Amino acid sequence: MTTVDENTIKATLVPEADRLDFYPRFLKVSDFFRFETLVFSYMATFSAGYSGGMWDFYDLSNGGFYVAPKGEDNVIFDVASNWFQGELSPDAAGIVVTLYALNRLLSNGNQRYIEHYYNLLDYAAQHPEASKIRGAID
């Protein structure tokens, strides 16, 4: 029998029918476009092979969220600013670019965004690719 620690943070894929309500739960309306632009821009910067596509949205059981590119193939990631090079799953790549985008939005001092950033960072620490995610964001 497998037991789950009560402190384990769970990610839940947001159904297609609920996607329109996703961003309003986490971001100010004025930041929707900026957030998506940042996510796509970071993905293109860190992964030379990225050329757009569909993304999945995830709710975290600790109140956080992230977005990740759909797909099963690993992504080659190169974050030159902190010397990270490696392969990431699409899920881990999405966590990385969501953290980068949230970090940029933090500049306005919005307490909700700070909480979302740390909620996602807590989830990332439990992710199977935690060491790679940490390497890509440090």
For 34-74, how does the pLDDT look when each residue is reduced to its tens digit (9 = 90+)?
Answer: 999 999 999 999 998 888 899 999 999 999 999 999 988 89
Q: Is residue 9 part of a domain?
A: no
Per-residue pLDDT at 96 exceeds 60: yes
Residue 77 to residue 93: CA distance in whole angstroms: 8
Domain that holds residue 131: 30-137
Token pair listed for 77: 């990631």
Counted domains in the chain: 1
- Give the burial class of 80: count Cβ atoms within 10 A of its Cβ; 0-12 exposed, 13-18 middle, 19 or more buried: exposed
- pTM for the model stands at 0.93
Whose tokens are 């159904």? That residue is: 15
Q: Is residue 48 part of a domain?
A: yes
Per-residue pLDDT at 1 exceeds 80: no
Q: Residue 4: its pLDDT value, please?
A: 54
- Are 127 and 95 in contact by the 8 Å Cβ rule? The answer is yes
- Are 95 and 75 in contact by the 8 Å Cβ rule? The answer is no
Q: Is residue 12 part of a domain?
A: no
Helix (H, G, I), strand (E, B), or coil: what is residue 53? coil
Whose tokens are 């933090």? That residue is: 106
**What is the C-alpha end-to-end distance of the chain, expressed in Å?**
37
Residue type, 88: L
Residue 9 to residue 63: CA distance in whole angstroms: 10
Read off the pLDDT of each residue in 85-89 and give the average, rounded to a whole number.
95
Residue type, 61: S
Question: Domain of 57: which CATH number?
Answer: 3.30.70.3580
Q: Is residue 2 part of a domain?
A: no
